[in-house]
Amino acid sequence: MRLLSIATAISLAVLTAGCVFTTHKLSEVGQAVTDEAIVGVWEEQSDPEFGSGGRIAIEHYTNGLYLHRDLDSGDPHSNPFRLFKIGDVTYLEEDLAECAALNGKVLVEAAKQDPNTPPGNLLPVRCERRGEWIAVWLADQTVIDRLIKDGELVGTPGVGWLGTAVITSTAVELAACLEKHSDEIYRMDDPRPLQRRIYRRVSTQVPAEVSDSKRKP
């Protein structure tokens, strides 16, 4: 198994630690981030356990959004996302509505186990770019479940191996919780590939033949 894109990172989170949805977009209360240096082609670094890494292309889309697409898996879908900050930490949030408009369907709906789960947004991943490198951290659902049970978040914890946790706290409340617990939620002390993935930039240009810029509305 390998992680080929940030979308796959979310899918991997579903398979390993359940999935966390929120009923409010966290980016709406965050500080928007524009990073020109994120545009280009990035390659996941090889890992002995998960096999060689694949490449993703990131480019500008519209309305402050970026697009990322897996170049090596054969998946034709592009995934719009935005970058924003809560405090000093940068997060990446996929825009499911834009994803549906671009690809004709909401790709993550298949991951939701309970058809009665309220529609919402995936909890953003934490990310950091340092020069030619990007690191992405996934949220640990067991921490989210505990914060819900302890009353620091409002929502429904995940049940069972593939249970879906739903956070119904307001965006402001969730942002405050992340400011307090982000290092724990994203397991910043855990270097395992199930928790953290690292990419290296291999090109500052997205090849014209794979660019999705023509699909901008």
1 lies in some domain: no
For residue 119, what is the DSSP state?
P
Write out the chain's pLDDT in tens, 217 residues.
Answer: 233 344 444 444 433 344 788 888 899 999 999 898 999 999 888 565 555 568 889 998 888 889 888 888 777 778 888 999 999 999 998 877 777 677 665 444 444 444 444 456 788 889 999 999 988 888 888 899 999 999 999 998 876 545 678 899 999 999 999 999 999 999 888 766 566 788 889 998 887 766 665 455 4
213 lies in some domain: no
> How many domains does the chain contain in total?
1
Backbone CA torsion sign across 39, 43, 47, 52: positive
Annotate 21-30 with b (16+ C-beta within 10 A) or e (fewer). bbbbbbbebb
Query: pTM for this structure?
Result: 0.80
217 lies in some domain: no
Q: Are strands 66-70 and 196-203 parallel, antiparallel or unpaired?
A: unpaired
Domain hosting residue 203, numbered range: 6-207
215 lies in some domain: no
Q: Cβ(7)–Cβ(70) under 8 Å?
A: yes
By the 10 Å C-beta count (0-12 exposed, 13-18 middle, 19+ buried), 37 is classed as: exposed
56 lies in some domain: yes
Q: Cβ(66)–Cβ(81) under 8 Å?
A: yes
